Structure 1
Amino acid sequence: MREAEVERFLKEEIEKMGGKCFKWVSPGQRGVPDRICILPEGRIVFAEVKVEKGGVVSGMQKYMHKLLTGLGCRVFLLTGKPSVVKMVTELRNER
């Protein structure tokens, strides 16, 4: 499954929860996660999307994930529809 398909599925699932899922492009700052997911009640999570097989998280992406988690943010690494379902289930159960 291609990254674009996983991102589309993620967007649909976040919208079912009443949230928004934006593509994140940050000029001048490499390594930011692919998506910012803004959920009801002000919850914000970040999602890095990779293909199931062969998807590699770069060193800069690892650095940014560590930076964001150090600031108290949640970053999910999604490698296919099952990982999106797992993330959404986890987020729903936190309510």
Structure 2
Amino acid sequence: MQHYKDWICRWIDEGSPVGNLARRISADDEFPLGGHKAALLARIKAIEASEGEILAFKYTWKMYEDDAFKKPSESTLEKKLVLEVEKRGGICWKFTSPGTTGVPDRVVMAPWGRVAFVEMKAPGKKLRALQRKRADQILDLGVPFYCLSSNQDILSFLQEMFDSEI
């Protein structure tokens, strides 16, 4: 099982409350590796985290729990992606292309004209050869392609696609 400290450090280079929280936790030698939400939150408050960092912890905790303990299914992750994209004012359409197999699951459109193709996978699953070929075709045209297989991946995608702090 991955500890929250390791999980959150994926965003250590982000210029957002999540990134600030990751840096603060990473630098704290006494931050508990295990423990419940209340114990970790108490430590975050003890190291004088900002309100934004505390909110970032509360927001990311549920995603961490799902990734670390529940191993969400592909369909659960896909529903989460749709919900989070729509909450941010974007569109997340199911993508099918009759006659062409291996296309990504979703096309995501964000304000400011941003568009990306997204393939959802269950945790630990990889792209099949044909899916990899389609991903390469999309990327060769300069269009963003993402393969998401965890709540952590979804959060990173949302931050990049929507320039959102959390």
TM-score by length of 1: 0.91
Q: Offset at 1:71?
A: 0.5
Which residue pairs with 1:83 in the alignment?
Answer: 153
Which residue pairs with 2:81 in the alignment?
Answer: 10
Corresponding letter in the other structure for 1:71 = L
How many percent of aligned residue pairs carry the same amino acid? 31
Q: Offset at 1:49?
A: 0.4
Which residue pairs with 1:33 in the alignment?
Answer: 104
Which residue pairs with 2:52 in the alignment?
Answer: none
Unaligned runs of 5+ in 1: none
- Segments of 4+ in structure 1 off by > 6 A? none
Higher relative CO (CA 8 A, sep ≥ 6), structure 1 or 2? 1
CA RMSD of aligned residues (A): 1.3
Q: Deviations over 1:21-78 (max 9, x none)?
A: 011111110111100001112211111100002x131111001100001111000110
SS of aligned partner of 2:118: strand
Distance in 2 between residues matched to 1:9 and 1:15, nearest whole Å: 10
Distance in 1 between residues matched to 2:161 and 2:128, nearest whole Å: 26
Corresponding letter in the other structure for 1:31 = G
| Corresponding pairs, count | 93
Q: Which has the higher strand share?
A: 1
Unaligned runs of 5+ in 2: 1-71
Larger Rg: 2
